[in-house]
Amino acid sequence: MNILMMTNTYLPHVGGVARSVDTFVRGYRQRGHRVLVVAPVFDNMAEHEEDVIRVPAIQHFNGSDFSVVLPVSVGLRSAVKRFKPDIVHSHHPFLIGSTALRIARMYELPLVFTHHTMYERYTHYIPGDSKPLRHFAVQLATHYANLCDRVFAPSESIAELLRQRRVRSPITVVPTGVDIERFTKGSGDGFRQIMNIPKDAFVIGHLGRLALEKNLDFLTQAVISALKRCPQACFLLVGKGEAKPSMLAAFERECLATRVFSVGALESPVLESAYHAMDVFAFSSLSETQGMVLAEAMAAGTPVVALDAPGVREIVRDEYNGRLLRNADVTVFTEALLDFSELENWRQHAYKQAALSSAEMFSTEHSVNRALVSYEELIGQEFVQRHEDYSAWKQVVGLIEGEWELLRSHAEAAAGALSDTAAEPDKE
């Protein structure tokens, strides 16, 4: 079949959605299906990309590592017409997601939407971070989901949340999945040697996009506490993002900088070795829809300490493959991390085997097969025009645009007032 994938983030962007889209694209192509990806322009893109259409975008929106898509050229319609998609898969309820909706309606094609993100937790990237915007973000995603023929939820927790938010479209749980064989490989000792991490050190690790919404202040405080109490402990931080400078500065203030080993985003095969170099993976995010990095860590045999949250509780089982902590208490989180430094060999082995076993449940092969079955169920079904839901979605889009203009006007007025005040002569 011909599958049209439309996403606001894609390679070389580092993040869960981009990695998820890439995982499924590769999986579909390996099974003989043709996939056309529509995504924004990003810095450092590959010079030659197979069946990828790039559209203009504003890079690094408001200090984030996301891009805002500009109006799409008429050339996209011609490219889609030539491709002759059997199904449209949207990965966002706005920007390119809006275009996906128009294409599906125009050609009367089934539309699938993956609800990757808790969008209301990302409004801090908008000036003002208003409560109405958070409410509108929830409504936008809900109404968009009801315009789709099928909604993919990355975890059962998110599926249940969408039902509570009155999503009526059929919901299928389809995690992104992990290449199990890939992550079982890697050299932890080799990675430690490259990074100059002592071979006998107790390594607390974290890997991912280091963004403000990931609750990384909490994680930083817990790791600082653990390093202070355990002289042989160190922290391996892998990733990049706007939260990274403040994290490193916190360790510097506590005179612990020499015990922090930091590196940017990694690619295979070094990425897998980084997981193998960790004794325990620390994770404190409360905004995930699925814990991709948790499954990757477990596929490397690394147990996890995490806070209980949607997308996390499906993977981490308390005192089986790690620790799942009900309350966000720094002291309790610190104790859980340090417990792994004192485990007897047999207990370490048990956690490792449990992690490996858990990862098998989140294999890429399983997820790709589930997605393709859903596609096949939708293709050939009678197209349904959802006029009422479309009107509701358009109304929310208008409300968001109005709120954005209001916030922007306030920001410009405040900037002007500050500028005027700074320009006034000293009256004393």
Q: Which residues contact 181 (CB under 8 A, 6 or more apart)?
A: none
- Candidates 331, 332, 305; CA nearest to 318 is 305
pLDDT digits (tens, 9 = 90+) for 56-83: 765 554 444 445 555 556 688 899 999 9
pLDDT digits (tens, 9 = 90+) for 329-342: 999 999 999 999 99
Reply yes or no on whether the pLDDT at 413 is more than 50: no
Reply yes or no on whether the pLDDT at 163 is more than 50: yes
Reply yes or no on whether the pLDDT at 407 is more than 80: no
Reply yes or no on whether the pLDDT at 376 is more than 70: yes
- Candidates 137, 22, 15; CA nearest to 67 is 15
Tell me the pLDDT band of 310, cut-offs 50, 70 and 90.
confident
Reply yes or no on whether the pLDDT at 8 is more than 60: yes
pLDDT at res. 94: 84
Tell me the pLDDT band of 428, cut-offs 50, 70 and 90.
very low
pLDDT at res. 295: 93
Reply yes or no on whether the pLDDT at 421 is more than 70: no
Reply yes or no on whether the pLDDT at 399 is more than 80: no
Reply yes or no on whether the pLDDT at 323 is more than 70: yes
Domains, the chain, ranges and CATH?
A: 2-177+366-416 (3.40.50.2000), 180-361 (3.40.50.2000)
pLDDT at res. 59: 55
261, amino acid identity: F
Task: Give the C-alpha separation, 255 to 227, whole Å.
Answer: 11
Mean pLDDT lowest for which of 116-120, 295-299, 329-333?
116-120
Residue 278 in contact with residue 263, Cβ under 8 Å?
no
Tell me the pLDDT band of 416, cut-offs 50, 70 and 90.
very low
pLDDT at res. 427: 39
Highest mean pLDDT among 8-17, 123-132, 330-339: 330-339
What integer is the mean pLDDT of 114-143? 73
Residue 12 in contact with residue 44, Cβ under 8 Å?
yes
What integer is the mean pLDDT of 130-137? 75
What integer is the mean pLDDT of 368-380? 96
pLDDT digits (tens, 9 = 90+) for 166-221: 999 999 999 988 989 999 999 999 999 999 999 999 999 999 989 888 999 999 99
pLDDT at res. 42: 81
pTM of the model: 0.74
pLDDT at res. 130: 62
